[in-house]
Amino acid sequence: MRATAIESIETIIVDLPTIRPHKLAMHTMQNQTLVIIRVRCADGIEGVGESTTIGGLAYGNESPDSIKTNIDKHFAPLLLGQDSGNVNAAMLRLERSIRGNTFAKSGIESALLDAQGKRLGLPVSELLGGRVRDALPVAWTLASGDTAKDIAEAEKMLDLRRHRIFKLKIGAGEVNRDLAHVIAIKKALGDRASVRVDVNQAWDEAVALRACRILGTNGIDLIEQPISRNNRAGMVRLNTVSPAPIMADESIECVEDAFNLAREGAASVFALKIAKNGGPRAVLRTAAIAEAAGIGLYGGTMLEGGIGTLASAHAFVTLNTLSWDTELFGPLLLTEDILSEPLVYCDFQLHVPQTPGLGLVLDEERLAFFRRDKTSTAVHQA
């Protein structure tokens, strides 16, 4: 057996409290559930990854419970005994036997990259081609739904020099109220901040045509997924007439989706999410498609904790251009952490570690406290 063979894989569901409810068009998050993945290798190296969803099945077709079950029952038998140092071969082995399940695949790929980075003494960003920056500007989502509260929260973030890009979750309420809410916030912040909206597919095309014009003419910089991911022709029509750029998010559930959206001209900006593409390496394939088509890039999030956030960040710092910055604020929503050291946010940016692997260390006591099952369920090689 190779010294770098995978000996065991453990998936741990962790429930962490958030600073406030986080309101989306289809769901309101009261806390965040992470699936932590630990891949242990024959040479003593351990790689750590994370698979996290927003709102479970309210958002997509994977949930924390399904991720854990599928990794334990289907992924692990394919990976145990395989060479952890050959990330490409391991992920191709999964792709040949398992369709979809991109959230689970992303966590596995992140763990394999973390292990290989530790083994070679390199940050994951260097395994992905090499970083061209050390920090990433980070947006903050204003999701209380209360205009005065959201303005006060934005002002606080500006004063703290933590965020100057703000995204508003709209679509769940009556459209005219939503528009008035967004426009009031933009007027209050003026040129001191970029204001964007995320509709999470909530509008039909007729509503979106009017709303996008109003938002664009009132200084809103970006409109994310205003209509259903299934109405690709409608996305093309909106992208043609909207004064503000249209960004595809839910429309991209795999790398192939990115290719088709680029070919059809359905969006001017792509939201990059490692979870929806199948990992840090996979999301860079989507980025390459966008760059070739002249489409802008935005580093998205599934509101991951520190592990998933850093896995995304290591990919994003390798991109030549990231015109629309990132949204990697997930750890800042949490009141508790399972890492020994928190991620570093300052001067409006997330600073990406240059230490080997993802650059993090688990806090074993806190992990044990917040894990749902309280006992190890690691799958070992027979």
- Catalytic residue numbers read 169, 327
Taking the C-alpha atoms of residue 135 and residue 74, their distance in angstroms, rounded to an integer, is: 37
CB contact at 8 A, 274 and 315: yes
Q: Closest Cα to residue 214, out of 191, 189, 242, 186?
A: 242
DSSP result, 328-352:
--GGGGBS--SBSS--EEETTEEEP
CB contact at 8 A, 36 and 353: no
Q: Which long-range contacts (CB under 8 A, 24 or more apart) does 368-372 make?
A: 370/14, 370/15, 370/16, 370/336, 370/338, 371/12, 371/13, 371/14, 371/36, 372/12, 372/13, 372/14, 372/15
Query: Which tokens in the block code for residue 330?
Result: 């997930």
Query: Which tokens in the block code for residue 8?
Result: 């065991």
Q: Which residues are within 8 A (CB) of 6 and not within 5 positions of it... i.e. 6 or more apart?
A: 39, 40, 41, 42, 79, 80, 81, 82, 83, 84, 90, 381
- Terminal C-alpha separation, the chain: 13
Calculate the dihedral angle through the C-alpha atoms of 295, 301, 307, 312, rounding to the nearest 10 degrees.
0
Strands 140-142 and 6-23: unpaired
Q: Closest Cα to residue 226, out of 217, 181, 213, 218?
A: 213
What's the CA angle centered on 125, arms 123 and 128, to 5 degrees? 125
Calculate the dihedral angle through the C-alpha atoms of 168, 161, 313, 141, rounding to the nearest 10 degrees.
-10
